């Protein structure tokens, strides 16, 4: 029997996660009152071939009984009942944006602002977050990427490292990404923009990749960047960081940064236990501006 408690910040994707778990064979119950969790756990002790995977959604909507959640988990542990906690999180600015898009109010905001409700919720969830077995930060995750991460944990049973790495290319003339943790500047490399037949291509094209990586400095930079990333990631994990954005920038975010970001992504994705994706923020902006 696998018993998963799905919780976390309102707006971080708990309902979506439960639907995904249901699609892969979990019997799902959303917004179950905290006081009923031990009863459900007791029922699962009876062998049942049809139901052997359960996911229970519990969050701040259990206002009156949520304070009992910690003690309830302690009792389950004392009885030897095995459970896992999946905590879905997201940055405050992303949560606020999602609430505004859906035109819903935060359950703890009352007549106040959304950010006030989020702050209260974070305080109430502090201890539960610390007890979580898995923490997924959905700030930069697409739906399919969230599905892939849940599949690794709850279907393929792969070891989970509690960190998701985004390798992001960008153009300095459009600004440094606000969510970047590490920023690297590759404007020291020769620029394909000044070669007429290469100008309109991007780092996703073979001609640009060959031009950029034919430079010894580019190859050495990539080697040192990979070494630094592999050194830093375990330390970020040990410090409790769950989302890492490595941003690589050139002038317009179209040639050099795209090439190096793709190259770093290809190297890091070989680690099966590392959640990773690639994004090119500004790759099409020059063309749009000219249009």
Q: Any idea where the domains of the chain sit in the sequence?
A: 2-154, 164-290
Could you give the angle at the alpha carbon of 193 between the alpha carbons of 187 and 287, nearest 5°? Answer: 110
Q: Which stretches of 146-190 are assigned E, i.e. beta strand?
A: 164-171, 182-185
Query: What was the pLDDT predicted at 77?
Result: 87
CATH code, residues 2-154: 3.40.50.300
| Location of structure tokens 């099409």 | 284
Determine the Cα–Cα distance for residues 80 and 184; give it in Å rounded to an integer: 49
pTM above 0.95, yes or no: no
Query: What was the pLDDT predicted at 36?
Result: 85
Give the containing element (helix H, strand E) for 290. Answer: helix 285-290
Determine the Cα–Cα distance for residues 240 and 224; give it in Å rounded to an integer: 25
Give the single-character DSSP code of 166. Answer: E
Angle between helices 114-131 and 92-102 (to 10 degrees): 120
> Cβ distance 249 to 176 under 8 Å?
yes
| Location of structure tokens 């799902």 | 28
Q: Which of 22-26, 43-47, 105-109, 199-203 has the lowest mean pLDDT?
A: 43-47
Query: What was the pLDDT predicted at 199?
Result: 92
Is the pLDDT reported for residue 291 higher than 60? no
Could you give the angle at the alpha carbon of 35 between the alpha carbons of 31 and 41, nearest 5°? Answer: 85
Task: Provide the pLDDT confidence category of residue 193 given band limits of 50, 70 and 90.
Answer: very high
Q: What is the pLDDT of residues 54-84, one digit of tens each?
A: 999 988 877 666 677 888 888 888 888 889 9
């Amino acid at each position: 029997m696998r018993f998963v408690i799905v919780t976390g910040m309102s707006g971080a994707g708990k309902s979506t996660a439960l639907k995904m778990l249901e699609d892969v064979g979990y019997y799902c119950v959303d917004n179950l009152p905290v006081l009923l969790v031990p009863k459900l756990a007791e029922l699962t002790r009876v062998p049942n071939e049809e139901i052997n995977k359960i996911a229970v959604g519990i969050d701040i909507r259990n206002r009156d009984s949520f304070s009992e959640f910690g003690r309830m988990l302690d009792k389950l542990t004392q009885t030897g009942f095995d459970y896992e906690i999946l905590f879905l999180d997201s940055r405050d600015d992303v949560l606020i944006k999602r609430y505004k898009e859906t035109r819903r109010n935060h359950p703890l905001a009352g007549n106040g602002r959304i950010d006030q409700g989020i702050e209260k919720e974070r305080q109430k969830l502090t201890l539960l977050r610390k007890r979580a077995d898995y923490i997924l930060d959905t700030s930069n995750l697409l739906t399919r990427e969230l599905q892939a991460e849940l599949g690794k944990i709850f279907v393929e049973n792969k070891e989970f490292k509690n960190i998701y790495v985004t390798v992001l290319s960008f153009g300095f003339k459009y600004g440094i990404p606000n969510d970047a943790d590490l920023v690297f500047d590759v404007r020291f490399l020769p620029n394909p923009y000044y070669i007429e037949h290469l100008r309109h291509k991007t780092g996703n094209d073979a001609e640009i990749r060959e031009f950029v990586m034919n430079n010894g400095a580019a190859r050495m930079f990539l080697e040192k960047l990979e070494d630094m990333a592999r050194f830093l990631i375990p330390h970020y994990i040990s410090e409790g960081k769950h989302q890492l954005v490595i941003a690589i920038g050139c002038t317009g975010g179209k040639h050099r940064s795209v090439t190096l970001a793709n190259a770093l992504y290809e190297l890091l994705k070989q680690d099966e236990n590392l959640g990773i994706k690639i994004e090119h923020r500004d790759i099409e902006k020059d063309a749009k501006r000219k249009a």
